[in-house]
Structure 1
Amino acid sequence: MKYYSILLLITLYFDSTVSAQKQKPILDFNTTDTYLITMKDESTFTGKFVEKRDNIIIIATKSARVELLMAEIVSAKKIDESRFVNGKYWFPNPHHSRYLFSPSAFNLKKGEGYYQNIYGVINSVNYGLSDHFTLGAGTEIISLFSGFPVLLVTPKFGGYEIGNNLHAGGGAFLAAAEGGIFGIGYGMITKGTEDKNITFGLGWAFSSDGDLETKPVATISGMYRFRKNMAFISENWLVPFEGYKPFFSYGLRFFGEQIAVDIAFINSPDIARDAIAIGIPYVDFVYKF
């Protein structure tokens, strides 16, 4: 249970750090930025600040000037005008740093984090310690009852822009189990934006008994956001086993400003032939904080 205790302590640390960093709504407006304002009745307004009069503010939306009571404002945040698509505001992708299992070269910002649950049994927390370094830890429920729970640790460097819409990163996936420590060290390059991108990665497997895989694992993953709340996602692997074995996946990501849900299928020639033609269902849930 010591590994479960370590995970719990890490989670509590992340939660306390995030709580300390929560910001109050922006109420000092300027006339150059565009704001997304949420009211107590859950209505939202997008526009530029015009002026303040006593207990109201006036903003200019695309259709009219609107007067808003300051006391009714729940939150007001600056937004990037480039995020408007066909006249509608698309909030930032809440889960751009990872596909299904493998990461992109995008990184969480300092102070950002997310909780992920896969299949209802694998739980992990990732937290941005800086704009270029994320630390993650996790475990899965089944092994907790075996007396030696599996502990997952996922350090990652990312967010390094090396060209126009070209980012680089690297890290490791580490698993401590009863048989020892196993892992993959990897590097990747991501081309595109946080909404539409493709990532190429290479990784080498290793273990605590000194084994090192001489042939790399290769990954090609992609994401295409085609609606405000939906994106197509695919993650594909070439694994050095009996030569090389291909695994591929395809599915949809549904998201809001702080949550994401992936519904996908994982497949291979062997799975399609011997098990399920469309692949093994995959489901995960992510909450960003």
Structure 2
Amino acid sequence: MSFRIIPLFTFIVLFFFSSNTFSQEATDTVKKVKISMKNGEDFSGVLISQDKGTIRIRNENGEMNLIIENVKSIEYESATVNYSVSNPNSSRYFFSHTAIPYEKNKFYYQNTFVFLNTLDYGLTKNLSIGGGFEFISTVVGYPIFLISPKAGFKIKNKFHLGTGAFFVGIPGEFFSSFIYGTATYGTRESNVSLGATGCIINNELYDYGFIMFGGMHRISNGVSLLSENYYTPYIDNKTGYFGIHGIRLLSSTSHFDFGVLIIPVIVDFIPALPYISFVRVF
């Protein structure tokens, strides 16, 4: 199945919030460059990307592209960026988990779309257990429940591997299991993940699983960018896609996630659906 390429998201950050409570200082490493041009001009800033033809940097004047053939010399150096507010939930994007484990002895309460409530707890530095329920289905007598164990391990610097499951069901009606494995590269503030999920529905193995690609990137003391993308094969080797893209507004012990859910098969009728969730860590 083919679908149009849709811009992932366009948004304006209206505000960010901070907390007066104590927080551990967060750090992230970036590469800074000093560039001398053949015409005598000099530029410095944070390196965003570089290829054979151009080098892209960001500084106080914004982002700029410089032509490599016009560059005389480039000096590289690493720098540490300090944030007074650390990311309180680097274990999760919007919905999908990273391979970074939850912190030991901490609870993570998440409310999504007002009606979905979940609670995760870090049992050890590598293992956690979570669960939750959907409010409306519970009120009408058919409660949808969720159980979500997870294991995450740091393999080496900036690289984690994780596995876990989502068990979803309605008592006496149906039960589904989603087993996943994830690899995450990066820091708690900025990282990317690649994962795969298999599905068992009512004790039958689903023929097609999911591939997840996601990431988060810290852009200021109170704001991160998030993207979460899912791919699944259809019959006749066709591929389906949907994704959530947006921002995370951070404080020391909580965050709000605002995004748009894009499903290309319905984009002609519904271009995007809103996504909102709140997480509190205690």
TM-score, L = length of structure 1: 0.68
Q: 1:129 aligns to what?
A: 123
Deviation at 1:127, TM superposition (A): 0.4
Deviation at 1:169, TM superposition (A): 0.3
Q: Tell me, what secondary structure is at the counterpart of 1:130?
A: coil
Deviation at 1:109, TM superposition (A): 1.7
Q: Tell me, what secondary structure is at the counterpart of 2:267?
A: helix
Q: Residue 139 and residue 217 in structure 1: after superposition, are their counterparts in 2 closer, same or farther (change >3 A)?
A: same
Q: Residue type matched to 1:164 in 2?
A: N
Alignment length (residue pairs)? 212
Distance 2:243 2:184 in 1: 18
Residue 93 (structure 1) aligned to one of 52, 72, 87:
87
Residue 212 (structure 1) aligned to one of 205, 211, 221:
205
Q: Residue 88 and residue 211 in structure 1: after superposition, are their counterparts in 2 closer, same or farther (change >3 A)?
A: closer
Q: Residue 239 and residue 253 in structure 1: after superposition, are their counterparts in 2 closer, same or farther (change >3 A)?
A: same
Distance 1:288 1:233 in 2: 19
Residue 172 (structure 1) aligned to one of 153, 165, 168:
165
1:262 aligns to 2:257 (yes or no): yes
TM-score, L = length of structure 2: 0.70
Contact 1:114 1:126 in 2 (8 A): yes
Contact 1:198 1:221 in 2 (8 A): yes
Distance 1:167 1:152 in 2: 25
Residue 155 (structure 2) aligned to one of 162, 166, 171:
162
Q: Residue type matched to 1:259 in 2?
A: S
Contact 2:27 2:80 in 1 (8 A): no
Q: Residue 283 and residue 82 in structure 1: after superposition, are their counterparts in 2 closer, same or farther (change >3 A)?
A: closer
Deviation at 1:88, TM superposition (A): 5.4
Distance 2:187 2:22 in 1: 25
Q: Tell me, what secondary structure is at the counterpart of 2:143?
A: coil
The alignment yields a C-alpha RMSD, in angstroms, of 2.3
Deviation at 1:273, TM superposition (A): 1.7
Distance 2:195 2:28 in 1: 28
Q: Residue type matched to 1:232 in 2?
A: L
Q: Tell me, what secondary structure is at the counterpart of 1:105?
A: coil
Q: How does 1:197-236 map to 2 (within 5 A)?
A: 197-208=191-202, 210-236=203-229
Higher helix share: 1
**Residues 214-237 of structure 1: CA distance to partner in whole angstroms, max 9, x if unpaired?**
332100000001101100000000
Deviation at 1:80, TM superposition (A): 5.6
Greater mean deviation of Cα atoms: 214-223 or 181-190: 214-223
Percentage of matched positions with identical amino acids: 30
Deviation at 1:87, TM superposition (A): 7.7
Deviation at 1:81, TM superposition (A): 7.9
**Residues 40-65 of structure 1: CA distance to partner in whole angstroms, max 9, x if unpaired?**
xxx98xxxxxxxxxxxxxxxxxxxxx
